[in-house]
Amino acid sequence: MPRIGTLLAATVIACSATAATVVAAPAHADENSYLADLQARGVPFLIPAKAVSDGYRVCSEIRAGESPQTAAQTFGIYYNALGPTIVDIAQHDLCPDTLH
């Protein structure tokens, strides 16, 4: 009988892990969409993880009360012209809850 309990526990753990993976998938898809949209709109980046990190930083700034226009200025001189585009893409792909 203890063997059945062990098997049942292993099955529950495996199902939980699978469910967690399925739940996490949409967040990853949003990051992929964000990167694809940056490329499609001509925003250059060398390191995808850094680009995603910058997008989430924009989301955090807007959630903390910054305006999208102010958040766009955080990219400095190089991205000055592209800042509003980056913010727009981040809001649509990474944090649509910040759209009003």
pTM of the model: 0.69
Buried b (16+ CB within 10 A) or exposed e, 76-95: eeebeebbbbbbbbbbebbb
* pLDDT tens sequence across 59-76: 999 999 999 999 998 877
| Residue 87 near residue 71 (C-beta atoms within 8 A) | yes
* pLDDT tens sequence across 26-85: 455 599 999 999 999 999 999 999 999 999 999 999 999 999 999 998 877 656 789 999
Smallest CA-to-CA distance from 52 within 40, 38, 41 is with 38
Q: What is the pLDDT of residue 74?
A: 81
Count Cβ atoms below 10 Å from residue 75 Cβ, excluding itself.
20
User: Any idea where the domains of the chain sit in the sequence?
Assistant: 31-98
Q: What is the pLDDT of residue 83?
A: 92
DSSP 97: G
